Amino acid sequence: MRRKTLLVTILFLVMVLAVSTVTMAGFFDWFTGGSEFKYYSPKKLKQSIEQEKEFLLVDIQPQEDFNNHHIKGAIGTYAYPVKSKQDKAKLDRILTQLKKSDDDIVIVCPRGGGGAERTYQYLSSQGIKEKRLYILENGQAGWPYEQLVVDEKLATISTEKLATQLGTQDLVVVDVRSDAAYNGWKLKDETRGGHIKGAVHFPVSWLELLENEELIDTLKNKGVTSDRKIVIYGYKDSQSKKLGLFLKDELDYKDVAIYKNGIVKWSANNDLPMDKLPNYSKLVSPNWVKDLIDGKDPATYDGRDFVIIDTNYKKFGHYKKGHIPTSIYVDTNEIEGPPLWNIVSDAKLKELFKKTGITKDTLVVVYSEEPMAAGRLISVLMYAGVEDVRMLDGGYQAWERAGYSLEKGVNEWQVGGYQVWKKTGHSLKKEIKEWQTGADFGARIPVHPEYYINVPQAKELLKDPNGRLVAVVSWDEYIGKNNGGYSYFDEKGRIPGSVWGHGGSDAYHSEHFVDPDWTMRSYPEIEKMWADWDINPENESAFFCGTGWRGGLAMFDAYLMGWKNISVFDGGWYEWSRNPENPVEFGDPRKE
C-alpha cells in the first residue's frame, strides 16, 4: 500500500513539474515577447527545393559574394548589411514581387546574423506578414549542399574553345582588369604580361564609377554590343561575373560567357596569342609610385635618383593643398611661353633642370590633374634628353582613388643646388646637392631635336607621301566650325593636307585619349582611331593642336605604342594661322 501511495505521489509530482514548466515557459515567452525570428534549417530548405515547394529566396549578400556563391533560384538584392537607406532601397525593388505571393520567404545573408534579422524586420515593417518570413540558419556560409549552388545565368568557355573562336567577327573578348595589367605589367601569377590578343579593355571598377547611360555608351564605343558573343576574363571569376551579370540583368545581353581560367592559364601557354603596350613601363600605376616613394624596388626601376613632378597651368595653390609625397611643382609656364606658347629656349630648359635637379640620368615621374599638361611636359623632357620619363596613369585622381595619403606644403626647389631622393636599404633619404663647377644636364640639350618640329619642317612633311601632319583637335576645330574655344585667338580652319587625329570635345578636353577615370585610353582603340585616317606606325607623324598640349599627349601615346618617327609640331594651328600667307581649308576633306 505504501509503495502504491509512493508511486502515485511521484506521478503527481512529475505532472505538477511538467505543468509548471509549461506554465513558466509560457510566462517567459509572454515576458520576453517570444522568439522574434523563425528559421529554416539548411536540410529543410534543401528538401523544399528538391520537392519543388513554392517559396521565395531573398539573398542579401554583397554582389561579389552573390556572384561567387548563391543558392539556386535566389533573388540577388545585394542589400547587405541592411543598415542604410540605400541598403533598404535595394529591398524596396522586390517588395511588389514579394507582396504578389503568399509563399514563404527565406532570407539568406552571409552568416544568418544581423543582416538577415534587419531584413526580416524591414520586410515586416513594409507589410510582409511575419508568418511568411524565415531566416536560413547560418546563412550562405553554413550551406553545405554545393550541388544546389549554381549560376544559371552565365555560361563558361574553355581555353581550347576560346582559342578556336578568337578573331571571329561576332566574338568580343573583354578584359576587366586594371589598366596596368592590360597594358603589360605582371601583377599576379601570369607568365606573360599583357592581354589576350584582340581583347578590349573595360575595367570592372567602372561599374561603380559611371552612370548607366555612360556605361552603355562606353560599351557601345568599344564594340561590346548585345548582337555579339561576349567572353569576359580577369584575375578573379567574381570580377568577370560582375560585368557579365550587369550585361545580362541590366542590359538584357543574351550571349555572355566567362573564361574561368583567366589570364593566368592563358599566359602560361606560349602558343596562345597575347598583346601588350610596347613601352608599358613608361605608364605607371599609383601602387608603383607608392612603392618607389616607400623605398621599395618596383618592377623595371633600376635604383637611380628620381624626381616626381606635379605639373599644370597656374595650379600652385592646388599643389600646396595636397600632392604626392616628395613631389615638386613645375608650372607649364616654365616650359612654354608667349607670344606663340612654343617651348622655351634650350638655355631656359637647362636652367630649369639645374634648379630642379634633373639630369639626363634622372628618373622623372610626371603627374597632373590634367593629362594634357602631363603630356606637354613629358614631350619636352623627352626632347631635352631625359632617358627615363614616366607618367602616372590617371594622375592625381588615380592617386586619390587608390586611397594613398597626400603631402601638404611645398617641396622647394633648392637655390644653388637641388634635392634628390636616394634609396638606402628599404627607405629613402632626402639629400641636398650643390652643383659643381661645370656640372650640367649631362648632355647637350636637345638630345632628341627630332621630337619637335617647326613650321618650315611641317611644310616639308606635308610634301612627303609618307608624312602625316596630325591635327589633334575636336572635329569642329578640324572642319573650321569653331576654334575650339581658345580665348587668345579667333582663327578657324585647318592646315591643308593635315589629317584628323581626334582630340576631344574642345581645346580644353581630350576625351579621345583619356578614359572616364582619367587613365589613358587603351592603345588598340587609339591605333584603330588613327588607322581610320591612314595614320600608321610606319608613317613619319607630327602631332599638333592649337599650342602643344594635346599634341604632346598624342605624341606620348605614339611613343608608348612603340612608334619611331614621331614629333610634336610645336607652333601648331596658332602659329600657322597668324601668317596670312599660309593656306587654310574648311569642311570635311573626305567629301571633296
Segment holding 55, helix H or strand E: strand 55-59
- The answer to whether the beta carbons of residues 340 and 435 sit under 8 Å apart is no
Q: 262 with 235: CB under 8 angstroms?
A: yes
Choose among 375, 352, 367: nearest CA to 319: 367
Contact call for residues 492 and 480 (beta carbons, < 8 A): yes
Q: Is 238 left (phi over 0), alpha (psi -120 to 50) or beta?
A: alpha
CA distance 152 to 141: 20
Return the C-alpha cell found at 82: 541592411
Which residues are within 8 A (CB) of 271 and not within 5 positions of it... i.e. 6 or more apart?
none
Q: Of 218, 193, 191, 217, nearest to 203 (Cα)?
A: 218
Active-site pick, 545, 554, 558, 568: 545
Cell numbers given for 186? 605582371
DSSP states of 321-341 as a string? H-B-TT-EEEEGGGTEETTTT
Asked whether the beta carbons of 287 and 280 are under 8 A apart, the reply is: no
Secondary structure string (H, E, C) spanning 108-149: ECCCCCHHHHHHHHHHHHCCCCHHHEEEECCCHHHCCCHHHE
Evaluate whether 485 touches 506 at the Cβ level (below 8 Å).
yes
545 is catalytic: yes
Rama region for 542: left / alpha / beta (φ>0; ψ in -120 to 50; rest): beta
Question: Do the Cβ atoms of 228 and 54 come closer than 8 Å?
Answer: no
Question: How far, in Å, CA of 359 to CA of 384, rounded?
Answer: 10
Length of the chain: 592
Instruction: Name the residues annotated as catalytic.
Output: 545
